Amino acid sequence: MNFHNFSKIKGRISRIKNPDGTNSAIYGINSAIYGINRAIYDINSAIYGIKSAIYGIKSAIYGIKSAIYGIKSAIYGIKSAIYGINRAIYSIRSAIYGIKSAINGINNDIIMP
């Protein structure tokens, strides 16, 4: 017996049990309602997935911006350190020049009163 013949026999039996087909209609309506509810659930799941993806992308962008800000801060810190070193070198040179001037002044005072 193939499936087609089996479904014919099954249909005849269901018509004998439910001559007006009301139970079949109710079953069909319930199946349709279940299908609609399942579709709504799946749509909500998809929306949640999309929202999660958007949140992940925003988080990644925020992380990249934070990294860029950190790199800029590090570069600024390095520039400040270099500037400070240059100022220190300038101050040391000024101190050496001042010491030389003082020595010259002392020598001039001793040699030429």
What predicted TM-score, i.e. pTM, was given to this entire model? 0.48
> How many whole angstroms separate alpha carbon 67 and alpha carbon 65?
5
Q: Is residue 39 part of a domain?
A: yes
* pLDDT score at 96: 93
* Digit-coded pLDDT (tens) for 17-53: 555 556 777 788 888 888 898 999 999 999 999 999 9
> How many whole angstroms separate alpha carbon 111 and alpha carbon 103?
12
Q: Is residue 7 part of a domain?
A: no
* Digit-coded pLDDT (tens) for 60-109: 999 999 999 999 999 999 999 999 999 999 999 999 999 988 888 777 66
Q: Is residue 29 part of a domain?
A: yes
Q: Is residue 93 part of a domain?
A: yes
Contacts of residue 15, defined as CB under 8 A and 6 or more positions apart, other chains included, come to: 21
Q: Is residue 28 part of a domain?
A: yes
Q: Is residue 38 part of a domain?
A: yes
Q: How many domains does the chain have?
A: 1
Expressed as residue numbers, the domain containing 58 is 21-111
Give the pair of three-digit tokens for residue 1: 């017996």
Q: Is residue 10 part of a domain?
A: no
> How many whole angstroms separate alpha carbon 85 and alpha carbon 76?
14
